[in-house]
Amino acid sequence: MKTMLAIGLACGLASAAGVQVREDGFTAGPNGLPAGWTVWSARAENAPRAYVDPVLYRGKPGSLAISGNSNLGEHGGWERAVAGVTAGAWYRFAACYRAENVPCESWQVVARLDWRDETGRRTGQPDYVYRATREGAWTKVTAEYPAPPMAASVVLQLLLSNAPLGTVWWDDISLDEIAAPPPRKVTIASVNLRPQGTKSAAESVRRFVEAVERVVPAKTDVILLPEGITVIGTGKTYADVAETIPGPTTASLADLAKRRSAYVAAGIYEREGAVLYNTSVLLDRAGTLIGKYRKVYLPRGELEGGLTPGAGYPVFRTDFGAVGMMICYDVFFADPARALATQGAEIILMPIWGGDQTLAKARAIENKVFLAASGYDFPTQIYDPDGDIIAAAPERGTAAIATLDLSRRYWHSQLGDMRARRMKELRLDVKPPVPGLEP
């Protein structure tokens, strides 16, 4: 087994670089285990079969294999203790796995960091590794976490859960102390405005642009406008104001984005041939249209008004992080926000007419994302991942302005980092029944 340990329980080598672990090319010792590794399970009767596989590996011969052992209750795998951890210091973990006959890898194949104090007792909560990329037949998982207070060591855990016919192979395992990541600050301005008597889409849009120039400060990163800015105040129908994208409204918003060097998001009505959508657009700092979202959940009035629902939840990468969008009635349903969060969205921008404020808070809390709303009959507010209102604009012609730190962790004292846990433990393999269909 090739191992580089600056500080570890097994090798304990001193280094100014702090903890550094590199492991691949595993070889079984006299007891069948590679040096420094043990096998863990919650109960002996549900223990997996853990072994060193000299045949299937990623680079050098030998990987850490876990078999479900034909046991439905199987839960467990490999673990290794690493000493020399410094409380408050940051660490990057990485490992690669390959799985066969595992129905839902997202929750059944688990890597986590279990922090321990000087006595070997757990301190803080285990950190789950959920970010993954495919590399051929293998999947690489990575995470960066700070060691909690009192931490003096960490147990690297590589597990397989409840996959009786499955096998997972782990290889290329590393742990490195790294510099603390800098804050990722982004300033959002959500505008509260309801134009009246404008008579045209262009005039309504003009009033929104003027409001932005009045109330949004310089160096704002994201400007959010409400739903349907082309119909509000006009007295017209959806079909009257619907336009192509790109079109005249996105051109006006592009000019605004360029002048303010800010991302701009707003809800308009889109025409594509004979089909009309309730759409939210996103333009970057240069005024380039980088994406659009077509509202998936349409209330009765919009369906009766001739609109067609969308069919996807895109996430957009910006220069500060990942952004998703929802529109109004979407907030009444759990799956839009969940779909955005599972794709990495850190902020959800929500143009809205009116809706349920409690559900908006729930969407932020359950997915641990920031949520910004700009509305007419819904409060113009910005929520943090705990569902707390961090900015509000109760008066027309004002803006809710907040500077967010996307690097901040929102921690539950008993459950730990719930964003990571929700992403790792979400049971997408358990399908809900069809609504209204009697069994």
User: Could you read off the pLDDT of 94-112 as tens digits, one per residue?
Assistant: 999 999 999 999 999 999 9
Of 31-40, 178-187, 216-225, 419-428, least confident by mean pLDDT is 419-428
- Reported as a single tens digit per residue, the pLDDT across 145-161 is 999 999 999 999 999 99
Instruction: Give dist(CA 349, CA 357) in Å, integer.
Output: 15
Helix axes 418-425, 357-367, angle to 10 degrees: 80
CATH label, 2-178, candidates 3.40.50.261, 1.10.10.10, 2.60.120.260, 3.40.50.720 = 2.60.120.260
The token duo for 126 is 């285990």
Structure tokens at 395: 């008066």
Alpha helices in 40-186 (DSSP H): 105-108
Q: Which of 68-77, 189-198, 413-422 has the weakest average pLDDT?
A: 413-422
pLDDT of residue 4: 33
Closest listed residue to residue 234, CA positions, set 194, 272, 191: 194
Mean pLDDT across the chain: 94
The average pLDDT across 10-36 equals 77
Q: How many helices (H) and strands (E) does the chain have?
A: 8, 27
**Eight-class DSSP state of 106:** H
Q: Are 209 and 97 in contact (CB under 8 A)?
A: no
Alpha-carbon Rg for the chain in angstroms: 26
The answer to whether residue 125 scores a pLDDT higher than 70 is yes
Q: Give the integer Cα–Cα distance in Å for 393 and 339.
A: 28
Q: Burial level of 162, CB count in 10 A (0-12/13-18/19+)?
A: middle
DSSP three-state, residue 151 = coil
Residue 412's pLDDT band (boundaries 50, 70, 90)?
Answer: confident
d(CA 151, CA 100): 35
When mean pLDDT is compared over 2-11, 47-56, 412-421, the highest value belongs to 47-56
Phi, psi values for residue 314, rounded to 5°: -75, 150
- Going from the C-alpha of 384 to that of each of 223, 364, 410, the distances in angstroms are 17, 7, 9
Query: What fold does the segment set 185-406 form as a domain?
Result: Nitrilase/N-carbamoyl-D-aminoacid amidohydrolase (3.60.110)
The whole-number pLDDT of residue 193 equals: 98
Question: Quick one: pLDDT at residue 414?
Answer: 87
Both structure tokens of 380: 């113009």
What pLDDT score was predicted for residue 18? 76
Mean pLDDT of 201-207: 98
3-state secondary structure labels for all residues of 325-387: ECCHHHHHCHHHHHHHHHCCCCEEEEEECCCCHHHHHHHHHHHCCEEEEEECCCCCEEECCCC
Query: What average pLDDT does this structure show over 364-389?
Result: 97
Residue 209 scores a pLDDT above 90: yes
The C-alpha angle 362, 367, 373, rounded to 5 degrees, equals 60
Tokens describing residue 40: 């863990």
Whole-number percent of the chain with pLDDT over 70: 96
The residues of the chain that CATH labels 3.60.110.10 are: 185-406
pLDDT of residue 396 exceeding 60, the answer is: yes
| Banded pLDDT at 11 (limits 50, 70, 90) | very low
**Which of 84-88, 201-205, 367-371, 412-416 is predicted with the least confidence, judged by mean pLDDT?**
412-416
What pLDDT score does 17 carry? 58
369 neighbors 337 (Cβ within 8 angstroms): yes
Question: Rounded CA gap, 16 and 434, in Å?
Answer: 58
pLDDT for residue 82 is more than 50: yes
Question: Residues spanned by CATH 2.60.120.260 within the chain?
Answer: 2-178
Global pTM exceeds 0.85: yes
260 three-class SS: helix
